[in-house]
Amino acid sequence: MSKNISKTLDRIQSIWHGWIYIILFVLVIIPLVNPIGLGIGIGRLEKLAFDYVKTIPAGSKVLYYTNMASWTVGNTAPTIALVEELYRQNLKIIFVPHGSEAPNMIQRVLAVVPSATGKVYGTDWLILSILPDLETNQAQFANDIPGTSPSDSLQKKPVSTFPIMTGIKTARDVALGVNQEEEGSQYIRQVAGPYGLKTISIHGVDKIPTHAAWLESGLIVGAIDGVPAAAAYEVMLGMPREASKQMDVMSFTVLYALILLAIGNAAVIMRRYANPKLSTITTVDTKKGGE
């Protein structure tokens, strides 16, 4: 019996690997074109971020560090959701672009944020000049914002000519910081920590454990990590969009990955059970042309 199961599992393992990817693509595309609407859970980090924004007085200013670029064009859902909430709260956003593509990407995102319609450049939002994503720049910028970034990215005017910059000198002069950088630690080390700036972090799902530690130590007030958090944010805003649609994909593909993991592990264990002397690690004889 166990030998039969072992043989079946071995046979499954010898199937052409391309099928794994073909099935994966099918599982990704089906929920996208035909949303099923599986449940979306609201996590602690995004709930805290959402609730914190609600406590900020209208008219306050937000320093939004971002490195959005063409490679993040498919992953704008967390940004859209957060900017929508910031504008619903009537906050003013000063974007700090890290990278030459960021100013363009910020405009593309604002174009699809419903509450950004009618917002005035220079009064409700501003894109500062590009700041290279370096440790030293972060430190200097937080200490002297108009001195380190003396002009804006779109109109190339001195920042002092824009009403939104009135009273802004250091990172202490804003109500909230948003950390959407490549890695995020630089901002925490040089801005959030030394200046005590309340911060919301936007990164991928792999950053959740790091964010949990930052949250416990008070370095951030919440986070929006990847598609699941963005979907939850959309639900809280009552604005289901791309992320909510992608959650079906996530559910399907993660389930698929778990099934593959279970089959692979079961095959190894059964093989070992059938032949205890056999090593779990397959050795390859390169002299015989093994790959």
Partner 1 sequence: MTWDITLGTIFGLALIPMMISYVFKENIVYQVAERTALALEITYSLSAGYILLTSYWNDIMRAGPTQYIFLIWLPIGAMILFQTVRGRKMFYYSRLPMALFTGVTVGVLLRGIIYTGVLQTVVGAIKPIDPYNILYLVTFIFGIAYFMYAFKYRGIFKASNYIGLIVIMLYMGQLFGTTALKRVSSISDTMQWILTALKSFGIPIPG
Nearer to partner 1, 5 or 130 (CB): 130
Give the CB-side neighbour count of residue 107, counting CA atoms within 13 A.
8
CB of 207 to partner 1, least distance (A): 8
Phi-psi group of 120: left, alpha or beta (phi > 0 → left; psi -120 to 50 → alpha; rest → beta) = beta
Smaller CB distance to partner 1: residue 60 or 148?
148
Summarize as ranges the residues that interact with partner 1 (CB under 8 A): 18, 21, 24-25, 28-29, 32-35, 70, 73-75, 99-101, 129-130, 132, 134-136, 139, 147, 149-151, 153, 156, 158, 186, 188-190, 192-194, 204-206, 208-209, 213-214, 216-219, 226-227, 242, 245-246, 249-250, 253-254, 257
Closest CB 17 distance from partner 1, rounded Å:
8
At its nearest, how many Å lie between partner 1 and the CB of residue 20? 9
Instruction: Give the Cα separation of 65 and 55 in Å (integer).
Output: 21
Nearer to partner 1, 175 or 208 (CB): 208
CB of 286 to partner 1, least distance (A): 19
Residue 125 CB, shortest distance to partner 1, in Å, is 19
Q: Using the minimum distance from each CB to partner 1, give the nearer residue, 136 or 275.
A: 136
Between strands 61-66 and 222-225, the pairing is unpaired
Q: Which is nearer to partner 1, 109 or 249 (CB)?
A: 249
